[in-house]
Amino acid sequence: MSSMLFGRRLHWLFVLGVALTTVSAAPLHAQPSPTAILDQIQANGTRPIDFHAAVFPETVYVGQQITYQVAVLLSESARARLRRNPEFLPPELRGVLAYELGSPKRVAPRSYGGGVFEAHVFQRALFAVAPGPLMVPAPQLSYTLPQSSSYFSREERFVVRAESAQLVVKALPSTGRPQEYTGAVGVWEASVQLDTAAARVGDPLLLTLRVEGIGNVKLLPRPAISVEWASAVPATDRVQIDTSLAYVRGYKEFDWILTPTRAGEVNVPPLRYSYFNPYRGSYAYAETAPRIITVSSGILATAAESDNVAVLPLRVWRGAHRWSLAKQLQAWRLPLLLLLVVSPLPWLAPVIGATLASIGASRRGHKRDARLTASGVLGGKASQHPGLGEGGELARHTRRTILGALAQRLRVSPQDLVSRRDVERTLRRRGVTRETTAQVVALLDELAQRGFSNEPTPPHAAHEVAARADQLLTRVDTEAVRRPS
């Protein structure tokens, strides 16, 4: 029963890290077997359970795989008395990427240092991310054993520590480093694939570069590519990692969207992926084979009609204007004159009040006539109301009325005519000539500029705008294609 309990996998978590310093070079070694730690440990035969740790190799480059192995040696007497799995306390380090490597290995009982033990080996793959010495502190294993064979016997707790490890992480050499190198470390191969063998100008196709081999696949950077016969836009990435063997391996796929810009038989040039091989200590290339693809003629989407929008002056914030006594007196000179003349005569107060009320009513009627003039732009009634709007109110109302009439005639939503570009594109798509479209847009720009101005609209300008609006709307109604309701 104790053997079955211990045979279960120990659940342990590594949080690993590095310290940065300069170190000297040392030779590299290949990755070990899953039980390489058993060939170099010196077991303590007096312990019921012994515990050891080791790293392979002890000198690596940045990004090269380090194998960290932990061996738990279980004596025959401890295996018979063990009631629960030992508890493992991993070393606390930072800045190292770690992966569970393979599955735990169980080795049949054999002699280690004068004692017979059954060995259980666990291992992880580590990848240092910075050069310098790397210290792996000693891990700890705690377990309890009953003091006698009785089921109700008290248990005694034991703690054992494995060896600490000192690694040397070397920086990648600068000698021989290709200009396009972006940081890939490992042993890699590359292949390219297109989602079609025939394409058409303007129709996008998918190009996939697949990089696979030995190393930390997740850290492979995306390379830069250039295809002279098409535009290339980066798309998605996909990663598949395999940790079932001694080396971490897998593949990473990089997608690009290609849009052909010319027809004919074109060539996908060989793509070169630069990487550093830590086992040879040199830089290398993974190169794809060239591909030939036939691109037929088509229509390449061009940019929309140019939108040379003239920048309209921004409305000046009214709070920034200086108060002018002269302008205020000019606006109120008639009421003030009357007030000065009749102020000594209190009995004329009713007359003065009636006069001021008449002036206010006249101004309100003046504004009402201006609004009627703006609303009558579409019906040709602008000439019936000579009143003027104040500031940009008349221009803004007139512009909204014109846009509403255009939306009704062109059978579109008013929200589709928000910008200058929307108005121009909608008119052209409904068959309105370029000349009429340009004049409509120019009128709307002029009204927009006046609408954000504080200057009053002169009477002759208001009549001119109304006449132009009537004329342009009539032309739009004549030139636009009738759409079924």
What are 108-166's pLDDT values in tens digits? 998 887 788 999 999 999 999 999 999 888 899 999 988 877 777 788 899 999 999 88
| Gyration radius (Cα) of the chain, Å | 43
Q: Which amino acid is at 229?
A: W
Q: Is 251 helix (H, G, I), strand (E, B) or coil?
A: strand
Instruction: Determine the Cα–Cα distance for residues 471 and 429; give it in Å rounded to an integer.
Output: 20
Q: Given this model, what pLDDT does residue 155 score?
A: 86
Residue of 20 and 79 predicted with greater confidence = 79
Q: Would you kindly state where each structural domain of the chain is located, as residue ranges? A: 2-170, 187-296, 318-479
How does 356-386 read in b/e, with b if 16+ C-beta sit within 10 Å? Answer: eeeeeeeeeeeeebbeebbbbbbeeebeebe
Q: Given this model, what pLDDT does residue 179 score?
A: 93
Instruction: Determine the Cα–Cα distance for residues 315 and 317; give it in Å rounded to an integer.
Output: 6
Mean pLDDT of 49-53: 91
Q: Given this model, what pLDDT does residue 60 score?
A: 94
Q: Do domains 2-170 and 187-296 have the same CATH topology?
A: yes
Mean pLDDT of 88-108: 86
Instruction: Determine the Cα–Cα distance for residues 320 and 349; give it in Å rounded to an integer.
Output: 38
Mean pLDDT of 30-42: 81
Q: Which of 342-356, 405-419, 470-484 has the lowest mean pLDDT?
A: 342-356
Q: Given this model, what pLDDT does residue 366 score?
A: 46
Residue of 206 and 26 predicted with greater confidence = 206
Rounded to the nearest 5°, which phi and psi values hold at 163?
Answer: -75, 145
Q: Closest by alpha carbon to 145, among 64, 78, 51? A: 78
For residues 217, 221, 226, 230, the Cα torsion angle rounded to the nearest 10 degrees is 70
Q: Which of 247-261, 290-304, 470-484 has the lowest mean pLDDT?
A: 290-304
Full-model pTM: 0.56
pLDDT level of residue 477 (50, 70, 90 thresholds): confident
Token pair listed for 35 = 């039980």
Percent of the chain with pLDDT over 90: 33
Q: Which CATH entry fits the domain spanning 187-296: 2.60.40.740, 2.50.20.10, 3.90.550.10, 2.60.40.350?
A: 2.60.40.740
pLDDT level of residue 429 (50, 70, 90 thresholds): confident
CATH architecture of 2-170: Sandwich (2.60)
